[in-house]
Structure formats: C-alpha cells, structure tokens
Amino acid sequence: MSCASMKLPLIDLNNLGENDSPRWESTKIQIREALQEYGCFEATFNNIIPFELRKSVGDGIRQLFDLPLAIKLLNNSHKPLHGYIGQNNFSPLMESIGIDGALSSHVVDTFANLMWPDQGNPTFRGDETRYTIGLFTVAKEGCVIKTPEELVNEDHPLLYKPFDYYKFINFTTTYAGRASLDPLKEYCGA
C-alpha cells in the first residue's frame, strides 16, 4: 500500500462502558488490529477529555513551539530523537520536543523553567498551524527487543533478529539509516 493511499484506522474511545462490555471488547480488538497492521491509530475521545482541557493543551503546545529556536535547542538529550528535533533537512516541516520522564512533576518543573526561565507563561496567540500530541512509550535502555520463540515456526519464519532499541534508533540517524528504504530490515533483518 502506498503512503499516499494509506489511511490510519479511526477508533472511537467514547462511551466504552465497563471493562467487560461488548463495546469494550470490540474496541480492544480494533486497537490490537490497528497496532498490528499500522503500528498506531487515530483516536476520537470527545467525551473522555473535556474540550477546555484539550484547548488548554493545544494552546500550551502552540506557546511552546512559538519560542525562539535558541530556547527550544536547550532541551537536548544524549538519546537520538529525544529532546528538541526540528528545522533540519531530514524533516524540514516537522518539529518535536520530547520530555523524558514527563510523569514526574520535578521533570516537568525543570523543563518549564528551562523554556521560560524568567517570565513564566507568555500570553497565547492563535494561528493556523496544526499541532499534534504524540504519546510514546519506548523500551528501557539496554532492553533487547525480540520475537517470542513460540511465534516462530516453518510457516512464520523469523523476520528480524533481536535488537537493542536505542542502537537501532542510533542507526536511523546515520547516513545509511536515513538512506535506507527499510531501516529495520537493514539493521536487523533475519
């Protein structure tokens, strides 16, 4: 399937009911299938997160990305694709800011003080730029990702050798990784 014709599954997370309801079970199946096929999905959840909170988060993200480049570059990391990423030849129209440990109030306070050291939160201003929030979970450093042995057999051969997630991410930032049409296969294909 070409990228131009690919459309992510849209999964409605509203009104799921109790954990054992038929709607809940059906939604779990949809999520599993979407993750197996696409690795992600688009969710609708208007009844779960109030509009005011979604608007506030959107305004905060806009405020963050409106900061001068020199300020955003202060959010750096030794891990590839963490910290501030943006305004480069590889992805000229995309910016991203990763906050490792964002569930810790100390980490969030440290990040806020790094981005807005003196003035606190400046006023918001609107524009037509589209912002997206991506929540990701990644393996711990040193964790080796591998296919469970019980899933590999004659009919379903091993496609990828075990690999360290961060070493793979490092590979994707090299010339060979960026030039590859299939970096995962090139890095650890069986």
Whole-angstrom Cα distance, residue 135 to residue 30? Answer: 19
pLDDT tens-digit series, residues 107-138: 888 888 899 887 765 444 445 565 666 666 67
Question: Using 50, 70 and 90 to split pLDDT, how confident is the model at 72?
Answer: very high
In this predicted structure, the answer to whether residue 71 has a pLDDT above a threshold of 90 is yes
Confidence (pLDDT) at 125: 46
Domain ranges of the chain: 10-44, 51-115, 144-188
**Rounded average pLDDT over 56-60:** 85
Confidence (pLDDT) at 80: 76
Question: Using 50, 70 and 90 to split pLDDT, how confident is the model at 8?
Answer: confident
Query: What average pLDDT does the chain have?
Result: 81
How many Å is the Cα radius of gyration of the chain?
20
Whole-angstrom Cα distance, residue 34 to residue 27? Answer: 10
Nearest to 84 by CA among 94, 74, 71, 97: 97
In this predicted structure, the answer to whether residue 152 has a pLDDT above a threshold of 70 is yes
In this predicted structure, the answer to whether residue 166 has a pLDDT above a threshold of 60 is yes
**Rounded average pLDDT over 16-20:** 72
- Taking each continuous run of H as one helix and of E as one strand, the counts in the chain are 7, 6
